[in-house]
Every structure is written in structure tokens, then in C-alpha cells.
Amino acid sequence: MTLVGLETPAAEPPASPAELAEQATAAILADLASAERGVVVDSPPGAGKSTLVVRAAAELADTGEQVMVIAQTNEQVDDLTERLASTHPGLRIGRISANEYVPSPRVARYGNVTVSAKAADLVGCPVVAGTAHKWATVHDASWPWAIVDEAYQMRSDLLLRVAGLFDRALFVGDPGQLDPFSTVQTERWTGLTWDPMQSAVAVLLRHNPDIPVRTLPVSWRLPEPAVDVIAEAFYPFSGFRAGTTREQRRMEFTTSSFATNPFDEALETAAESGWALYELPGRHTVRTDAEAVTACAALAARLLQRGAVAYSERAVAGASVTADRIAVGTAHRDQA
């Protein structure tokens, strides 16, 4: 519908999710340029955290600043290295690793990546990436900038071991994640600003309250109907919105449902609202509950049988849901 003859010069059209996300990223990169000590970026799932890390690393490198990238696991470091190497083929990237690390093919295939256990071998690289544990063994070196990825997974005592290596830093992480873990139970440091059992971000902010905290406001992973549920449960204090709309992300079935099939009801609900809860009869069970496993498998099988078609911003015309596009999550490793 078009309205003719109405002039509303005062109200600007609301920004699209993509514009919002871009504005936020631009603001963060601008913050970096003027940051005295650094910036913290809170990122809900699928809000473009890795994209931000890669862009920030490349932009800092562009200005001639050397950047160390600190991630928590080798898997995460390889991910970032791969993305940096593929999007910035002209950028030399160092991958610092333990002696026994075998470079994964997805990193080794890039000519602009140098892998070494010694920081000295990588001095020529404007960007050097490694795990926090590896960085903790590096001495007598320093970087003007660090980018700390998954900073909410990092424990404060690990940050203490690496923080001497850099002057300023961009901390990026998902505040909805569980706090770091210790095998030791003690209240000895409760309430201290440098409590070693807290997350790196918590300790950093308590000592540097002036560091700006930004949020990536748009999740591209979660569909719109799921955002409210997730945001309320895990991000009660910041919140975020979905990058796509109900209309863009939806699912349809090519066969009709059986009234008698209990799984169909759950699938229909999920297709309509973005998520569904399939409730088993209430009873106490062992953690690896065969009944729950069977139900998960049956739901997945039924989803395939029903010939589901998923529509998204990447597949506007719809793509049929095949087995490789179904993920099953569990709360504990042994349940998988």
C-alpha cells in the first residue's frame, strides 16, 4: 500500500536489521580507533562475532598496528585463521601453536598462513593467532593490540597470564554462556575484583569501568519467534533482535499430518512458531534416557518423511530439509 499526499519529514524510516548490525559494527570499529584501553563487545549467538573479529583484525593491521588474536581452543583459532586467510589473501597471518599441533588442512592450504611454535618466527606477520594457553607461554614480546575471542569462556586467571603481552584489546564474547568452571570449590576470593574464578570480562570491567561495552544487536542464526524466548532466558539484561522475519524463515511440509501421530503435532507447532517442546511423560530417568533418544530420532525421521521445505533469506524459493540439515543438541556430552 502506498500513501499519497502525506508528508512526514520528521520520522525517518526504521533501520533494517542489516543496517542496525552495520551501524553497531561501525561504531565498534570507531571505538577501537579512539580506545584508551579497549572495547568489550557482547554478542548473542549468530550476531556476527567472527565477522567482527576478522574485520577488526584486518582494519587494525591496515593501520600498521600488529595484532595478536587470542581464542580459547585450537578449533576456534583455526576457524578465525581460515576466515582471515580466505577473506584477506594479501594479509600475512601467523598461527602460533604448541609443538605437537598438526596444522589442520583448512589452515595449511592458505599460502599466507605461517604456522610455528615460536613467536620469533612470526614477527613479520601483522596478525598472529593462537590459543590463550599457547600465548601464556610466550615471553619477551608485546603487541599494541589484542583481540580476545570467546572472552566470556576465558577465566580471569588465564587473562592474567596473557594480558602482559598487549597494550589494548578488543574483547568479544557471548555473555549468555555459562561462567567458566573450576574443579576447586572455595569462597576464598568471592567479592574480590580479581577473583580468578570469574570470567575474563567480569574482572576486566571491574578494574576498568570506563571501557565501553557494546552489543551486536541482531542475531542472524535465531529465527524471530525464538529470539524472545532465548533473549529472556539467557540475555535478560541486554536482549537482541532477529535479523530475519517470520515470513523470511519458515518451514512447510509437502505431506499432510496424521492426527494420530504425536510427533506431527510437535513438528506443526515448530513449523508455525519456530520452536516446539515435545514433552515426554514426566518421570525420573537416567541421564542417558533411551526414551528421549528414541523420541529425538523419531522426530528427525518424521521431519524427513514429511518432506519438509525450509524457506530462508538464503533460500527464498525454499530448500528441502535433508538429513544433513538437522542438528540434534544435548545438555551433556554423554547424551550425544
Partner 1 sequence: MNGTEAWLARIRGRALPRSHNARTIAALASNPGCARRAIMDAAGVDKQRLAAHAGFPASFGQSRFALTRGNAFEAQVKANGAAELLRLLREHLRLPIPEASYDDLSEVGGNISLELRHVRTRNMLARAARSPNDARPADNARLASDAGTMFDHPLLRLEVGGRYAYLEPDLIAFQIRGQFRVVEIKSFAVIDGRADGDKVAAAAIQSAVYVLALRDALAELGIPPAAVADETILVCPENFSSRPVAASLDVRKQLTVLRRQLSRLDRIDDLLGLLPGDLTFDLDPDGKGVPQRAPADLARAIRQVEARYAPECLNTCEMCFFCREEARGRTAALGRDALDDLGGVEQVATVLRLVRRALETGRPAPGPGQEPGQNLGPGSDMAEAADLLRTAARLRAESLGEAV
Partner 2 sequence: MSTLTSLARAIAQEQQAAQPITTVRHVHISHRPFVFIPLALAGEANAPLAAMAGDDPGAPRLLTVPEPRDRDQRFAFAADLAAIILRYIESYLGDEETAGTTKETRTRYADAPQLLVPNPAGVAFTRLLGRSTRFRRTEGPYAVAESVPVLGRWLTFLAERAEHPASSLMLAVTDALALHWATGQSPMEDLNLGTLLGWIDPAPGLTGVQAAARAEDPVHCPPAGPATDPTFDNEVLESRFLAVRTAKATGDGRAMQRAKATLADALATQLTPTWTLMWRAVDLLRRLPPGDHVATRWNQDKDAFTWHANHLRDGGPPQPRRDSAVPAARRLAGLEKVQAEYAAQRAFDDPLVMAEYRMTGEAFAGTVTAAEPDRVDDSGRRRVLRPRITVETSDVVLAEPGASLTSPARPNQAARVLSVTAAGDRTSVVLELKGGMGRALTPEPGSVPTTGEAVCYATFTDGFQRLPEFPDPEDTPWTHGGPPPQYVPSDDDAQEEWS
Find the binding residues for partner 1 in span 225-264 (CB under 8 A): 236-237
Contact flag: residue 188 with partner 2 (CB under 8 A): yes
Q: Which stretch binds partner 2 (CB under 8 A): 103-111, 193-201, 293-301, 311-319?
A: 193-201
197 contact, one of partner 1, partner 2, none, CB 5-8 Å limit per kind: partner 2
Start-to-end CA distance of the chain, whole Å, equals 50
- Contact mark string toward partner 1, 158..187, x via CB under 8 A: -----------------------------x
Closer Cβ to partner 1, 139 or 283, answer by number: 283
Question: What value, to the nearest 5°, has the Cα angle with vertex 116 and ends 87 and 133?
Answer: 90
The backbone torsions φ and ψ at residue 117, rounded to the nearest 5 degrees and listed phi first, read -90, -10
Closer residue to partner 2 in complex, CB, 56/146: 146
Rounded Cα distance, 300 and 327, in Å:
9
The DSSP code sequence of 56-86 is HHHHHHHTT--EEEEESSHHHHHHHHHHHHH
Burial letters 89-102, b for 16+ CB under 10 A, else e:
eebbbbbbbeeebe
Q: How far apart are CA 66 and CA 165, in angstroms?
A: 12
Q: Select the span of 10-18, 197-205, 241-249, 299-307 touching partner 2 (CB under 8 A).
A: 197-205
Subset of residues 97 to 136 that bind partner 2, contact rule: CB under 8 A: 136
Instruction: Identify the residue whose cell numbers are 499432510.
Output: 256
Using CB under 8 A as the criterion, which residues of the chain lie in contact with partner 1 when the complex forms?
Answer: 187, 190-192, 236-237, 281, 283-291
- Residues within the interface to partner 2 (CB under 8 A): 37, 136-137, 156-157, 159-161, 163-164, 169, 182-184, 186, 188-189, 192-197, 200, 203-204, 207-208
